[in-house]
Amino acid sequence: MGALDGIRVVDVGLLVQGPQAGQTLKDLGAEVIKVELPGMGDMARWIPISMEDFRTPYFEACNRGKKSITIDLRVPEGADIFRKLVDTADVLVANFKPGTLEAWGLSYEELSQTNPGLIYAMGSTFGPEGKGADREGADLAGQAAGGLISTTGSDGEPPTPVGATIADHIGSMNMTVGILAALVSRNENGKGQRIDVSLLGGQIYAQASEYTAYLMTGEIPGRSNGGHPLLPMAYGVLETADGHIALVGVLPDKREALYQAAGVPELIHDDRFAPIIYTTEIRQELFRLLADGFRSKTTDEWASILDEMEVRYAPVNDYAQAAADPLVTTNNYIVELEDFNGEKKKVVGSPIRMSETPTAPSASAPELGQHTEEILIELGYTWDEIGELRDLQAI
């Protein structure tokens, strides 16, 4: 049994922000029913790997183990089905443009009248209030408006998006935290509540330290320039003979050994590098002087040297290297499971380990509408009524 065993989630989310929150709840033991538009489904079903490979990584990653029911919420009979389904639920997850569910008569105020314990979790791009809040957007909009891509890369280069849907992911995690907190609160007072999160708000919060530096000084911290603008020490990436390695700060008592290993022992007497904290320019100069030495050895050789010194580091892995890393496989961050057909496949596991109520990732996402009849029968519909609903294109 998972920590959320007995909790029912209705997930009407799209792409990543809402669905990944639902996926996290599913991994924690909740039952998650995904509501999709008939004939179309979640837009993530339409983002293939390539024009030659029609598998859909965004959909598979965010919807494993869920049940799928197709309902057209715009059709009155479909909205009625949805209300009955939500009446059986603990949590509703969505990330439509603000005002969409309200326009269909499915607001928190309306749904909570018949289900006062409902936790109604809404995700948006720019937040629920203010001028422009109703604009549509997606991950890149969150990265851009929240300032993240202004920090990546080096001075003089154009802004560079992060190579993952990081704004969506952070938004989904904030939504999950809000839902879990609301479940705890409901245990105390029996009342549900509305939760709002956004990609923009998530990006601001994810950069709380950097924004705090700006708010304190009025100065923008600046680009990462291969490291971090607020951590101008031996903190950044160096090229090796066969790849790259990240130094995660080198304490003063470790510097002499590091300089010796890199073939520049004289740096220990260079006053520029004596302080604990450097300027960004001095850090860049230090890394320039270390560069030849680091390029003379492989990443594995440097890993052994830095382990011996007890200096913090990590190899700069690509996805193939990370997926094969024993730390990843041993901790089940990537796990091999059996899918619906009994075939083994590797999937991204849960990053959360729990001693008493372990997480349980699933191998496969549902086919579009796979569980429609099953769920409608559970809600009390007859087969004749289900046929009529199909004729009305409500399901």
Alpha helices in the chain (DSSP H): 17-27, 57-63, 76-87, 100-103, 108-114, 139-145, 166-189, 199-206, 208-217, 252-261, 280-295, 299-309, 319-324, 326-330, 372-378, 383-391
How far, CA to CA in Å, does 209 sit from each of 214, 220, 320? 9, 12, 32
Is 168 a residue of the active site?
A: yes
* 284 touches 226 (CB < 8 A): yes
Taking the C-alpha atoms of residue 277 and residue 230, their distance in angstroms, rounded to an integer, is 10
* 256 touches 265 (CB < 8 A): yes
Taking the C-alpha atoms of residue 79 and residue 107, their distance in angstroms, rounded to an integer, is 12
Q: Residue 178 carries which side chain, given as an amino acid letter?
A: G
> What sign does the dihedral 73-130-125-175 (CA atoms) show?
negative
Taking the C-alpha atoms of residue 199 and residue 59, their distance in angstroms, rounded to an integer, is 19
In the chain, how many H helices and how many E strands? 16, 11
4: left (phi over 0), alpha (psi -120 to 50) or beta: alpha
| Annotated catalytic residue within 90, 168, 271, 391 | 168
| Active site residues per annotation | 168
